[in-house]
Amino acid sequence: MRFALNSMILRVFFALFAGLAFCSVTGCQNASTEPRTAAAGAGAQQLPASTVPHGDHNPHHGGVVLMKGEDLHYEVVLDRTGKSYQVFFTDAVREDLPASIATDVALTIRRPGAPDEKVAMRIDEFGESWVGSGPPVAPAAAATVRVAFSIRNEPYWIDIPYDGPAAPAAR
């Protein structure tokens, strides 16, 4: 019995020693701490995000990207100075659509304890986006913006916080 116990202890000790020696020779590094290189994942072809429907939700104009249905994205660009508000429309793979794809585009700024402020919107001179201007919005204001438009004769609106898309209320 004593021989078997000593033999087992020696085996465990040898396995630990061999493991430590292997790690010290090969430099065992945790994969999560190794620097990632461009070659990582070589062989796996990655398609550009623009070829995959809904693969690109990055703002192309510095705004907030939202979706309506399965085939329409729109980007709302808000400006606290009120000088330039814009709404851009893109398809499911984020290819630009002409601004005329939508009608009745409207922005309404809502502040607590103040009347709603409608921003008159029009198609820009290039036909790429809807643009408008309005009064400035103070950074401390708890404002929301109602973005409304019609697409394919279907009215749509969504309320978004002035600073971003957190928990929008859609209808």
Q: What is the pLDDT of residues 41-64, one digit of tens each?
A: 333 343 444 555 556 666 677 788
Residue 134: count of CB within 10 angstroms of its CB: 19
Banded model confidence at residue 136, pLDDT cuts 50, 70, 90: confident
CATH fold of the domain at 50-170: Immunoglobulin-like (2.60.40)
Task: Specify the amino acid at residue 25.
Answer: V
What is the reported pLDDT for 7? Answer: 53
What's the pLDDT at 66? Answer: 87
Among candidate residues 51, 54, 50, the one with its CA nearest the CA of residue 66: 54
Report the C-alpha gap between 159 and 70 in whole angstroms: 19
CB 83 within 8 A of CB 93: no
- pTM for this entry: 0.63
Query: What per-residue confidence (pLDDT) applies to 11?
Result: 55
Whole-Å CA distances, 164 to 148, 152, 154, 170: 16, 27, 25, 14
Q: Where are the beta strands (DSSP E) in the chain?
A: 64-68, 72-77, 85-90, 102-110, 117-119, 122-123, 129-132, 144-151, 154-161, 169-170
Percentage of the chain modeled with pLDDT above 90: 35
